[in-house]
């Protein structure tokens, strides 16, 4: 997941006419420190201070302070999602299945009953 693009920053300024500065407040994704990131349009481009902003989905932001961004620019510390499914009559985490059953799970096809 990459940081917010210059194109997206221009779009946000266009969506908010008359704003001289855009800012995001929150906690750093890595260290948890309270922080503020600001973006200001200048003649030579948009200047960003305070850290970096990630937008994986519209209006869903993650922030990283400058020291954490310098250490590692990627967002990495997400909680792994555990997938449960039925195997031989029991609901079990797929990660606990044997290799053959995990391969069968990857080969499964989805069926959309609303189309049929």
What are the tens digits of pLDDT across the range 61-99?
A: 889 999 988 998 887 766 678 889 887 788 989 888 999
**CA dihedral for 43, 49, 51, 57, sign (positive or negative):** negative
pLDDT digits (tens, 9 = 90+) for 10-55: 888 888 888 888 888 999 988 889 999 988 888 888 888 888 888 8
């Amino acid at each position: 997941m990459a940081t917010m693009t210059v194109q997206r920053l221009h779009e946000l300024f266009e969506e908010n006419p008359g704003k001289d500065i855009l800012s995001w407040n929150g906690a750093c994704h890595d260290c948890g420190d309270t922080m503020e990131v600001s973006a200001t349009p200048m003649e030579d481009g948009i200047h960003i201070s305070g850290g970096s902003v990630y937008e994986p989905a519209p209006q869903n932001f993650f922030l990283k302070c400058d020291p954490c961004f310098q250490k590692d620019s990627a967002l990495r510390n997400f909680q792994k999602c555990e997938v449960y499914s039925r195997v031989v009559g029991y609901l079990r985490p797929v990660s606990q299945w044997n290799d053959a059953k995990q391969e069968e799970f990857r080969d499964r096809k989805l069926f959309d009953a609303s189309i049929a």
